[in-house]
Every structure is written in C-alpha cells, then in structure tokens.
Amino acid sequence: DLSSLEIRKEYYEVVAGQYPDMTIIPYIIPGRTGAQMLPQDLALLAQACPNITCVKEATGNLDNMKLTRKCCGPDFQIFSGDDALVYDIMTDPEIRACGSISVMSNIVPGFMTQMVSAINQGDRDEAERLQAVLKPLLDLVVVTTTEETAFGPVLCRARNPLPLKTMMQLLGMPSGPCRPPLGKMTRQGLDKIVETMQQVHADHPDIFAPIAKFFNIDIHERIHNPDYQNGLWYAYE
C-alpha cells in the first residue's frame, strides 16, 4: 500500500501543481484503491495547494470525516462520495458536508439535487421525505447476495457501478456495459434490482418520469418485461 504521505507528495501535489488554475478534488476511496490519504495529509495538501479546497469523501467512516473537518477547517468543502450516507454526513454537525458527487444522480438527478438543496436550505422535513423516497434506490449502489455452488455458499458483492449500469440498461439509457473485470449481475442480484425498481416506480411514478420523457420509453414495460433482462446476468456456475 502507498502511504498517506506518498499519495500527497507523489500524486496530488504533482497534479495540483501542473494545473494551478483548475480545482482539484481529491477522491478518498480506500475500498477501491487499497490506500488512503489521511485527514492530516489532506489538511497539509490544502495548505500547500490553493486549488485544493474540497474533497470527495467515500471512506464510509464518519470518524474520518469528522477528523477531516477538524483538520481542514470550517471553510473546506466536503462532498459525499457515498450516496447512502449523503443525508447523514450533510446533517452531522461535526462533518457538515456541503453536497454530493453522486452516482445515483445518473438515474435520478432531480431527486438527488432536491434532497441536497433541501438540506442546505434547512428544510429538514423535505430532505427526510426525499431521503425516504430515494433510500431503496440508494441501497442498490452495492448489491450483495448469497449464491449457492456445488462447493457451498458464496457471498457475491456486485459493486458500483455494476448495479447502476444494470439499472440504466433496464431503463433503456445508453450506458453500455461495465469494462472488465467488472461483469454482470447474478440472477438473484438482478431480481433484487428489478423488484426494487418496480416497487419504487409503483410508489413514486414521478421518479423515473424524466427518463421516460427524454428517451421516449414506457418505464412500466421496461422494468416488467423480462426480455429487457436478457444478457444482464449470468449463472453462478
């Protein structure tokens, strides 16, 4: 693993120095990179590089986010990089995130924007209402299933962006497949996505309405017709 110091010195400082007129947003996602720049180094980086004034936080660790706020100060901008935690880290007084760089906004940008705006405007009731509407979809960013094999059960974790790409393909949006080694959902994982989308659409038909209008498609038909699921999954065998 790279050390936090190496990430700061050999990557972010170099990039920020090469593009001094461009805002550089460090992306802290140890689950993907296997390494993490710590809040202390982020604060030192922000001091050294005037074009680093914010961070995309995807550690999933609230204590890390609180330390980021403490080290980097009240004016440093923290953006959520974890859709399931947007509401929590924006409303936590020790974190005070200002917004989200959201993957789910590829599908429901209006609802995500409305929730973030409601929080920033202090309309907690509206934010909580939107959070409740969005939660079933946000829970699909990562889909975990237990698959049975001839050698016993296997925990299968379909990580972002695979579930999102699958949703977009189901909805008829031109997303394309994931690049290898990311592949396809399992049948069980795809069923979870389809059932959730069907329920969300039944409860809140307006949530996918912009997609229906822009792409001229029938949402109900797209998510209920099994023909659109062909090629989106493979058996665990």
Structural domain total, the chain: 2
pTM summary value: 0.92
Same domain, 158 and 72: no
- Which residues in the chain show pLDDT less than 50? none
Count the neighbouring beta carbons within 10 Å of the beta carbon of residue 176.
9
What is the CA angle 150-143-59, rounded to 5? 120
158 inside domain:
yes
> Residue length, the chain?
237
What pLDDT shows up at residue 61? 97
Which of 53, 86, 101 is where one domain is finished?
101
Q: Is 56 one of the annotated active-site residues of the chain?
A: yes
Q: Which of 9, 56, 66, 70 is catalytic?
A: 56
203 inside domain:
yes
121 inside domain:
no
What pLDDT shows up at residue 141? 94
What pLDDT shows up at residue 68? 98
Q: Helix, strand or coil for residue 143?
A: strand
Same domain, 90 and 142: no
234 inside domain:
no
Q: Which of 27, 66, 70, 184 is catalytic?
A: 27
Q: For residues 104 and 83, is the Cβ–Cβ distance under 8 A?
A: yes
Conformation bin of residue 216: beta by default, left when phi > 0, alpha when psi is -120 to 50: left
The helix (H) or strand (E) run that includes residue 154 is strand 152-158
175 inside domain:
yes
CA 69/CA 43 separation, integer angstroms: 9
What pLDDT shows up at residue 39? 98
What pLDDT shows up at residue 176? 86
Q: Supply the range of the domain harboring residue 185.
A: 138-229
